[in-house]
Amino acid sequence: MKSLDELAKIRDEAKSKMGVREGSKDIRIVVGMATCGISAGARPVLKALVEEIKIRSLQDISVSQTGCIGICRYEPIIEVFESGKEKVTYIEMTPEKAKKIVSEHIVNGNVIDDYTIGSVSGKYSSHGTVEDF
């Protein structure tokens, strides 16, 4: 160890890897991981999210799971909670879409409207519209 700068570098690197242990985060991404979510492919989505956050060394983001969000036919679903903003619900996720959400929404702050649950509102489905739901 030669200098405080060298120490600070080690600290910052180690800190980012321990971030998961610090309670409240600015941004929380929640993946629906009930049976319906998992069978629709939520696990690769979750993996892709973690992977992308790691590659971009993003801070203050937690990825966690939740149970059934309730609209099983749109699984895999992820929800993004940001303090002070309304939550955004993305549906029918794939690993590719998930990566794009990290780069567009999380990094640049642009919600990808096409992936949100709002994009299907009004569309006909055998169970009624999203608004009915």
Partner 1 sequence: MDLYRAHVLVCGGTGCTASNSEAILNTFQKELKKNELDQEVKVIKTGCFGLCEAGPICIVYPEGAFYAGVQVKDISTIVEEHLLKGRIVKDLLYKGAFEKDTIRSLDNVDFYKKQMRIALRNCGVIDPEDINEYIAMDGYQALGKVLAEMTPMEVTKIVQQSGLRGRGGGGFPTGKKWEFASKIKGEQKYVVCNADEGDPGAFMDRSVLEGDPHVVVEAMAIAGYAIGANEGYVYVRAEYPIAVKRLQIAIDQAKEMGLLGDNIFDSGFNFNLSIRLGAGAFVCGEETALLNSIEGKRGMPRPRPPFPANKGLWQKPTLLSNVETFSNIPRIIINGPEWMANIGTEKSKGTKVFALTGKINNTGLVEIPMGTTLREVVYEIGGGIPNGKKFKAVQTGGPSGGCITKDHLDTPIDYDNLIQLSSMMGSGGMVVMDEDNCMVDIAKFFLEFTMDESCGKCPPCRIGTKRMYEILEDITNGKGEMEDIERLEKLAYNIKASALCGLGQTSPNPILSTLRFFRDEYEAHVKDKRCPAGVCQELLTYSVVADLCKKCGICAGKCPAECIDGEKGKTVYTIQKDKCIKCGACLEACPFKAIIKS
**8 Å CB contact between 64 and 49:** no
Which of 7, 70, 87, 110 touches partner 1 (CB under 8 A)?
7
* d(C-alpha 82, C-alpha 4), whole Å: 34
Q: Which residues contact 116 (CB under 8 A, 6 or more apart)?
A: 88, 89, 90, 91
Instruction: Quote the least distance from Cβ 21 to partner 1, whole Å.
Output: 4
Instruction: Tell how far CA 75 is from the center of its chain.
Output: 13
Residues 37-66 that bind partner 1 (CB under 8 A): 38, 46-47, 49-50, 53-54, 62-66
Residues that bind partner 1 (CB under 8 A): 1-4, 7, 10-11, 13-18, 20-21, 23, 25, 28, 30-31, 33-35, 38, 46-47, 49-50, 53-54, 62-67
